[in-house]
Amino acid sequence: MTPSRTLALTEELIALSSITPDDQGCQRRLIALLSPLGFVCETITSNGVTNLWARKGTQAPLFVFAGHTDVVPTGPVEQWQSAPFVPTQRDGKLYGRGAADMKTSLAAMVVACEEFIGAHPGHQGSIAFLLTSDEEGPATDGTVVVCARLEQRGEKIDYCLVGEPTSAHVLGDMIKNGRRGSLSGHLVIKGIQGHIAYPQLARNPIHQGAPALAELVAERWDEGNDYYLPTSWQMSNIHAGTGANNVIAGEMAIDFNFRFSTASTPDGLEARVHAILDKHNLDYTLSWTLSGLPFLTPRGSLSNALSAAILGETGVHTELSTTGGTSDGRFIARICPQVIEFGPPNASIHKIDEHIEVRFIDPLKNIYRRTLENLLA
């Protein structure tokens, strides 16, 4: 049986070992398919990262498919049942690194465009692709660079559909209409090292810091809103001491992270943390890293078009959600009023034996095509 066009292209892309930030020719392959459809393709490189901006048409509204060609490392290859960059079908599933995150989505987007343009050559508006090989890495030379260039040129994006794997159990049961922000802190509480038998000659940063940490754990940062759960604060690493049981530590280092909603701001969260630490009279240093701001697309024309496409193709009533980690949608949301993420089930992403059920591949392509029809036909 001849594989579907989308399945065949997915397998082609999986076979290209594009471990971040190396594109390995994925975008070159997609350019070869998009150019004959009328897309003007522009490769934008930055510090070893390969980005693609491909646009067909000049009229508004502009609909953008966004995604990434890079994948995370495979982990121990010997633990895979089949080679991670040899696409392999077993028991109705397609295995390979990137199968779910997100080479199936890329293939589905391209084939959806082929079908849509073929059926509607005089469609309204414009269609574009924004792709990067830097989403799984630092994300400093990818989508953010392309967005900056588009903003400089005055190119306005009206709708953006990001192909991240968002479904939970079956295709279409969840789409992301926003993501929480990520704010990390590295806290060092300073003490005075000394012999544990002479605590009066030392200052124990663990003892001094514990009440403040307990207060940070118990703090209610916000109440969230209609789309977001309340902001969370979590410690990820804590270290103090020399390893000996008779030495009071000289300092304690803590790494923590906020996943915050649009109900809070980075400045506000930072100020509240400092206020708690200062209240406990700690001698400390604290450095901050803002990985991404939250974004939110309220229910509107894009989410309605996608929801209708999902229902029409699968019969599934989708759920809007803002759960999960960050994505490049946070950069696109700065220049686009409606950003939605939708793709295949995500249970196997970043894992050994990453896979997608073959039965979801063509319906995903059809959902992307139906969304285009709902907005531009």
Q: How far apart are CA 300 and CA 339, in angstroms?
A: 10
pLDDT given at position 326: 82
From the list 210, 206, 281, the residue with the least C-alpha distance to 240 is 206
Residue 30's identity, in one-letter code, is L
Q: Is the distance from CB of 364 to CB of 108 less than 8 angstroms? A: yes
Q: Which residues pair with 240 in a beta bridge?
A: 252
Residue 149's identity, in one-letter code, is R
Instruction: Classify residue 69 by its DSSP letter.
Output: -
Q: How far apart are CA 195 and CA 118, in angstroms?
A: 78
Annotated catalytic residue: which of 135, 141, 354, 373? Answer: 135
pLDDT given at position 198: 97
pLDDT given at position 1: 60
For 300-331, give the DSSP string: SHHHHHHHHHHHHHH----EEE--S---THHH
Residue 11 Cα distances to 21, 82, 170, angstroms: 20, 14, 21
Q: pLDDT digit string (tens) for 139-189?
A: 999 999 999 999 999 999 999 999 999 999 999 999 999 999 999 999 999
Please report how the helices 26-34 and 104-119 are oriented relative to each other, as an axis angle in degrees rounded to 10: 10
Phi/psi of residue 202, nearest 5 degrees = -130, 175
pLDDT given at position 325: 80
Q: pLDDT digit string (tens) for 221-241?
A: 999 988 899 999 999 999 999
Q: How far apart are CA 293 and CA 121, in angstroms?
A: 38
CA angle 184, 322, 175 (to 5 degrees): 140
Q: How far apart are CA 233 and CA 253, in angstroms?
A: 16
Annotated catalytic residue: which of 11, 22, 23, 70? Answer: 70
Phi/psi of residue 208, nearest 5 degrees = -70, -35
Q: Is the distance from CB of 196 to CB of 245 less than 8 angstroms? A: yes
Annotation says 222 is catalytic: no
Tokens of 190: 């300073």
Annotation says 353 is catalytic: no
Q: How far apart are CA 30 and CA 52, in angstroms?
A: 10
Q: Which residues pair with 49 in a beta bridge?
A: 46
Q: Is the pTM of this model over 0.85?
A: yes
User: Is residue 119 classed as helix, strand or coil in its secondary structure?
Assistant: helix
pLDDT given at position 194: 98
Q: Please, what are the averages of pLDDT over each run of 10 residues along the chain (377 residues)?
A: 88 98 98 98 98 98 98 97 98 98 98 98 97 95 97 97 97 96 97 98 98 98 92 97 97 97 95 98 97 91 98 97 88 96 97 98 98 98
